[in-house]
């Protein structure tokens, strides 16, 4: 069934995009965390 196949591909694509967004979100969060830590460390050591 071509229609079913198209729907399935759309669902899979949406799942992959959601998963990718979650992974990117986590990576950005960790990166921001590291940047904040460096920033605070620099401020503390600067005093």
Q: What is the pLDDT of residue 7?
A: 93
- The Cα 6–Cα 33 span in angstroms is 40
SS3 label, residue 9: helix
Q: What is the pLDDT of residue 2?
A: 83
pTM over 0.75: no
Q: What is the pLDDT of residue 46?
A: 80
**Quick check: 1 pLDDT over 80?**
no
- The Cα 31–Cα 38 span in angstroms is 11
Domain residue ranges in the chain: 1-46
Residue-wise pLDDT for 9-42, tens only, equals 999 999 999 999 999 999 998 898 898 899 989 9
What value, to the nearest 5°, has the Cα angle with vertex 12 and ends 8 and 17? 150
Q: Among all chains, which residue has been given the structure tokens 């969060």?
A: 29
By residue count, the chain amounts to 47
Q: What is the pLDDT of residue 47?
A: 61
């Amino acid at each position: 069934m071509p229609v079913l196949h198209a729907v399935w591909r759309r669902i899979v694509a949406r799942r992959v995009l959601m998963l990718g967004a979650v992974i990117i979100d986590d990576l950005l969060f960790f990166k921001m965390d590291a940047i904040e830590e460096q920033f605070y460390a620099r401020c503390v050591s600067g005093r």
